[in-house]
């Protein structure tokens, strides 16, 4: 019989299996199956390179997700700083040993894979801040001496990633870090002042953008100004989304994607392809799956005994929501195109690796929800 209160060191393998959140696992697997068929569709009904690679990665990373979840939450608490600084070193290494592709130096070659450290930083920063704020009383989080460390922990990787250049990922890292700070009980007035200060710095930040990034922002406000250039992607995306209708065109029946009118359909615009084939109802079903994943993450955090697990789960849930919202808003034309993948659905090994590790940490919080990290 499973003990009423799980004390990590007393859990056997059977206890850990029964302690898993099977509803969360179900929705992750369901999302993986949908992503396989979506990737299959991007290759016009052929089991090509992208489809096979995506399937293999999901299988391997799902096993990694389970392995990560079986480690005690105390282990991840003690390793939080090490994980963050290891990824930070990799970000510095990208600038020296990085692999350049599509005009950006974002990857580093590690034996048999090209790793994008900026994707791992999304998770590393959240767990770093959860560890940092674990023992700080709520009334002290606005104290200057407790603000300096998080400030540098957030902005050093953000600047490194923006320099690659990868503005989209830099913004997502920034939002993930700010989300954790908000959840610590940061005074609303002070938090809003900080956000206002960042907004005031936007003109300065824009001056450092690359020419193509400025063009993307201008095309966001008026895509037709360069309909065959910078505005082409968003125009074709909107047409594809609209042509899907309320119900569906049918699997492998998307004309915009099937006839290659839609660029990057296997990565950032995978939602557009899915929506064209399965319509508004299919898109709503996919959105519900993401909502249920976020709900399960927050439910696990809410039941966790220690503040570290709660901060991490709520921070990751917020970041996960932002990843989904930014990608969908981008393909709908509500945000500029910034290169933000849709979790698990989009093709990309580093992105999927980051999300599955993050979900593994969440599941670890579930298995050891009654364990303290001290």
Instruction: Report if residue 15 sits inside a domain.
Output: no
Instruction: Report if residue 306 sits inside a domain.
Output: yes
Q: Residue 48: its pLDDT value, please?
A: 82
Instruction: Report if residue 355 sits inside a domain.
Output: no
Share of the chain above pLDDT 70, in %: 83
Please check the confidence at residue 287 and state whether its pLDDT lies above 50.
yes
Find the DSSP H helices in the chain. 13-19, 22-42, 49-70, 73-97, 117-132, 144-162, 167-183, 188-200, 202-207, 211-221, 232-243, 255-258, 270-303, 307-331, 349-367
Instruction: Report if residue 210 sits inside a domain.
Output: yes
Total tally of structural domains belonging to the chain: 1
Instruction: Report if residue 370 sits inside a domain.
Output: no
Instruction: Report if residue 172 sits inside a domain.
Output: yes
Q: Residue 95: its pLDDT value, please?
A: 81
Under a CB-based contact definition with an 8 Å cutoff, are residues 6 and 368 in contact? yes
At 260, phi and psi to the nearest 5? 65, 30
pTM: 0.88
Domain ranges, residue 271: 75-342
Strands 99-101 and 104-110, by their bridges, are: antiparallel
Please check the confidence at residue 226 and state whether its pLDDT lies above 70.
no
Q: What is the mean pLDDT of residues 301-323?
A: 92
Q: What is the DSSP letter of 155?
A: H
Instruction: Report if residue 358 sits inside a domain.
Output: no
Instruction: Report if residue 191 sits inside a domain.
Output: yes
Q: Residue 69: its pLDDT value, please?
A: 94
Q: What is the mean pLDDT of residues 322-334?
A: 89
């Amino acid at each position: 019989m499973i003990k009423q209160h799980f004390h990590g060191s007393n859990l056997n393998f059977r206890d850990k299996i029964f302690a898993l959140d099977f509803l969360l696992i179900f929705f992750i697997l369901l999302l993986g199956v949908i992503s396989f068929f979506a990737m299959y569709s991007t290759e016009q009904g052929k089991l090509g390179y992208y489809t096979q690679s995506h399937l293999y990665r999901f299988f391997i990373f799902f096993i990694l997700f389970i392995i990560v979840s079986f480690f005690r939450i105390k282990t991840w608490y003690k390793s939080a700083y090490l994980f963050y600084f290891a990824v930070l070193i990799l970000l510095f290494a990208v600038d020296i040993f990085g692999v350049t592709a599509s005009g950006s130096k974002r990857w580093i070659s590690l034996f048999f894979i090209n790793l994008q450290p900026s994707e791992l930083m999304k998770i590393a920063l959240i767990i770093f801040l959860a560890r940092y704020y674990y023992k700080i009383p709520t009334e002290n989080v606005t104290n200057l001496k407790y603000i300096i460390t998080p400030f540098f922990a957030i902005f050093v990787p953000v600047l490194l990633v923006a320099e690659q250049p990868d503005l989209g990922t830099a913004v997502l890292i920034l939002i993930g870090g700010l989300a954790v700070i908000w959840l610590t009980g940061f005074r609303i007035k002070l938090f809003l002042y900080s956000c206002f200060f960042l907004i005031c710095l936007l003109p300065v930040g824009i001056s450092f953008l690359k020419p193509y990034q400025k063009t993307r922002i201008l095309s966001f406000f008026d895509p037709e100004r360069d309909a065959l250039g910078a505005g082409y992607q968003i125009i074709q995306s909107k047409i594809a989304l609209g042509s899907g209708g309320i119900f569906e065109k049918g699997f492998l029946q998307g004309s915009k994607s099937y006839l290659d009118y839609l660029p990057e359909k296997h990565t950032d615009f995978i939602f557009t392809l899915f929506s064209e084939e399965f319509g508004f109802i299919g898109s709503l079903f996919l959105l519900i799956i993401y909502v249920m994943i976020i709900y399960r993450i927050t439910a696990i955090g809410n039941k966790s005994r220690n503040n570290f697990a709660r901060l991490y789960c709520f921070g990751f849930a917020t970041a996960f929501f932002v990843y989904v919202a930014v990608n969908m808003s981008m393909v709908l034309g509500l945000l500029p195109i910034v290169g933000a993948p849709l979790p698990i659905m989009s093709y990309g090994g580093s992105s999927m690796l980051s999300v599955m590790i993050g979900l593994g940490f969440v599941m670890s919080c579930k298995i050891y929800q009654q364990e303290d990290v001290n």
